[in-house]
């Protein structure tokens, strides 16, 4: 066949895209099922990640096997770095491991299991539809996704079968597989473009495997294209990092440098050796392609692993730390990133960290406000006013994130936690408001040269100590999920209520007896009211913990 008509092209493209869609959807269903099955294990895997880059490689490979896409893992890493879960040294280990983990997909689809696809779809659907237990439903999803994945592969293979008889295609394949520099570059560019367009190295690898299964794509031509897909997959993380902080941009740039350097090294030194090796291992083009994919990524990681520190230094030189970046690290969200919503269990841990960060700022705001009253420190009051704006911003950001998190695949217990966090951030924001009120009292005290009696100072300090203890313990109970500390906060709040009533009566008596000035009396009573309200909000935070942990 020397030429294709428009009808012939449509006859290939329509089932090709349909098969690709089914392949990607099946992969998504299967990876979602595996991820749900892993549950909190995913979060624990990431938490156990240390500065040891070898552990990072292992974690990257495991996570990529679960999510079935190195692009998805790298985007996740960008999110992790953006949210402060890991640093660049840890991130590069994950990225290297992701490149190895993604080869499992190629190995899987290179095995001709098409005959099992209808059985897997029927069995998976039955398990998912008729099972009541959550674990069985998840198993059904995994089996169903597996079946759809291979059915999509078969549809793509059938769609592209006519290409092996098309002279234009065979000539292009012959040119790419000729071993010349120009042919290798053409194959590389083709692989780069395909992966950039579909935004998934697993998808582009699936297309290549499907072509190989038809016999239309020998390994000599497939390998240069495969090298292009390894660089093309970097565009996903680069695009994802546009809205992230500069540290996350460095993570995406590391991914590009790692894959690009490795690809150049392979093109120059290892292309022919790789092709000869995989041909000696198997006669099947699809298996040769999968083996070449694995060999490239494993060897590339081993070659560049000793130079990981240099790659980190290089991206830090290209994107140096700015003053604005240092400012962002102190104020604004520290742990939230929408990319992490793809893994809800980790996102839940991050949003709790952000709420605790918000609580720490509220405590800092309160301490500065108290200082402004006790020492007539205007700068301390101004610090409270500045922090209050950050707290208000955090409440909005966390609320939006919680809404998005609640729309992901989370269980009933997590939904209860989210409901509790909504009320908690509102209470923390109100603590910030009361700190702001106290700071304004501090400014009034300075402007009007108001002084407190020694007795009033002692009484005020006692109440401040009780209130800060209650708030600190409330935040600890949230961080640790500790019911006993939460219950203790409720008890302290009751004692603070009684203290506020007692101190109010004593101070009114001093006012009536003329032992206290009117201005100082007003400030003192307003201080009592604001402190008592802060203890109420601390109690509300503790009660939310008790509600969630009441099982």
* Token pair for 77: 């890493």
The beta strand positions in 47-175, using DSSP E, are none
pTM score, whole prediction? 0.63
Q: Which residue blocks in 39-69 are alpha helix, DSSP H?
A: 40-47, 53-67
Q: What is the DSSP string of 113-136?
A: -GGGHHHHHHHHHHHHHH--SHHH
- Rounded to whole angstroms, the maximal C-alpha distance in the chain is 110
Q: CA angle, corner 43, sides to 39 and 49, nearest 5? A: 145
Asked whether the predicted pLDDT for residue 50 surpasses 70, the reply is: no
Asked whether the predicted pLDDT for residue 161 surpasses 90, the reply is: no
* Token pair for 43: 């979060």
Q: Are 121 and 148 within 8 A, CB to CB?
A: yes
Query: Comparing C-alpha atoms, which of 534, 507, 369 is closest to residue 441?
Result: 369
Query: Comparing C-alpha atoms, which of 120, 160, 109, 165 is closest to residue 142?
Result: 120
Plot region of 444 (φ>0 → left; ψ -120 to 50 → alpha; else → beta): alpha
How high is the pLDDT of residue 543?
Answer: 92
Greatest mean pLDDT among 60-69, 123-132, 530-539 lies in: 530-539
Asked whether the predicted pLDDT for residue 276 surpasses 80, the reply is: yes
Interval 326-357: pLDDT, tens: 555 555 677 887 878 877 877 888 899 899 99
Nearest 10 degrees: CA dihedral of 480, 484, 488, 489? 30
How high is the pLDDT of residue 68?
Answer: 65
Q: How far apart are CA 420 and CA 418, in angstroms?
A: 5
Interval 187-199: pLDDT, tens: 999 989 988 887 7
* Token pair for 199: 């935004």
Q: How far apart are CA 10 and CA 26, in angstroms?
A: 24
Helix, strand or coil, per DSSP, at residue 516: coil
**Distance linking the first and last C-alpha atoms of the chain:** 70
HSE of 455 in the Cβ direction (CA atoms, 13 Å)? Answer: 10
How high is the pLDDT of residue 551?
Answer: 47
Helix, strand or coil, per DSSP, at residue 67: helix
How high is the pLDDT of residue 20?
Answer: 86
Average pLDDT rounded to a whole number, residues 235-261:
83
Query: Comparing C-alpha atoms, which of 461, 389, 479, 371 is closest to residue 432?
Result: 389
């Amino acid at each position: 066949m020397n030429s294709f008509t428009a009808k012939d092209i449509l006859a290939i493209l329509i089932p090709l895209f349909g098969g690709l869609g089914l392949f990607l959807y099946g992969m998504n269903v299967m990876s979602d099922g595996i991820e749900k099955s892993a549950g909190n294990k995913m979060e624990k895997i990431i938490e156990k990640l240390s500065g040891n880059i070898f552990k990072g490689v292992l974690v990257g490979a495991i996570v990529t096997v679960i999510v079935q896409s190195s692009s998805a893992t790298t985007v996740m890493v960008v999110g992790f770095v953006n949210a402060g879960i890991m640093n660049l040294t840890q991130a590069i280990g994950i990225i290297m491991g992701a490149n190895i983990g993604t080869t499992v997909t190629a190995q899987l689809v290179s095995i001709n299991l098409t005959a099992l696809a209808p059985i897997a779809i029927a069995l998976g659907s039955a398990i998912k539809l008729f099972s009541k237990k959550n674990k069985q439903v998840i198993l059904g999803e995994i089996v169903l996704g597996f079946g759809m994945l291979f059915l999509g592969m078969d549809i793509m293979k059938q769609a592209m079968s006519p290409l092996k008889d098309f002279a234009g295609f065979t000539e292009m394949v012959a040119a790419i597989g000729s071993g010349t520099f120009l042919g290798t570059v053409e194959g590389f560019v083709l692989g780069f473009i395909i992966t950039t367009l579909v935004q998934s190295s697993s998808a582009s690898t699936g297309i290549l495997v499907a072509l190989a299964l038809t016999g239309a794509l020998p390994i000599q031509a497939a390998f240069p294209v495969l090298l292009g897909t390894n660089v093309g997959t970097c565009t996903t993380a680069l695009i994802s990092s546009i809205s992230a902080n500069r540290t996350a941009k460095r993570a995406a740039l590391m991914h590009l440098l790692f894959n690009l350097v490795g690809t150049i090294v392979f093109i120059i030194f290892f292309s022919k050796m790789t092709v000869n090796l995989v041909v000696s291992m198997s006669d099947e083009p699809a298996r040769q392609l999968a083996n070449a994919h694995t060999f490239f990524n494993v060897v590339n990681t081993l070659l560049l692993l000793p130079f990981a520190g240099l790659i980190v230094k290089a991206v830090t030189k290209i994107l140096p730390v700015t003053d604005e970046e240092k400012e962002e690290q102190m104020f604004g969200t520290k742990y939230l990133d929408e990319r992490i919503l793809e893994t809800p269990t980790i996102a839940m841990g991050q949003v709790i960290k952000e709420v605790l960060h918000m609580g720490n700022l509220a405590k800092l705001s309160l301490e500065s406000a108290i200082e402004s009253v006790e020492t007539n420190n205007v700068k301390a009051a101004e610090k409270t006013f500045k922090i209050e704006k950050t707290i208000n911003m955090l409440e909005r950001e966390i609320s939006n994130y919680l809404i998005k998190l609640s729309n992901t695949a989370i269980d009933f217990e997590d939904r209860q936690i989210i409901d509790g966090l909504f009320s908690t951030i509102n209470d923390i924001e109100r603590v910030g408001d009361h700190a702001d009120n106290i700071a304004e009292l501090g400014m009034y005290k300075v402007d009007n040269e108001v002084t407190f009696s020694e007795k009033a100072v002692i009484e005020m300090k006692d109440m401040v100590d009780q209130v800060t203890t209650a708030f600190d313990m409330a935040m600890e109970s949230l961080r640790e999920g500790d019911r006993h500390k939460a219950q203790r906060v409720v008890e302290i709040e009751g004692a603070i209520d009684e203290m506020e009533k007692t101190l109010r009566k004593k101070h009114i008596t001093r006012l009536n007896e003329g032992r206290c000035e009117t201005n100082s009396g007003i400030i003192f009573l307003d201080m009592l009211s604001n402190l008592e309200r802060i203890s109420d909000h601390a109690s509300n935070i503790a009660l939310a913990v008790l509600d969630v942990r009441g099982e």
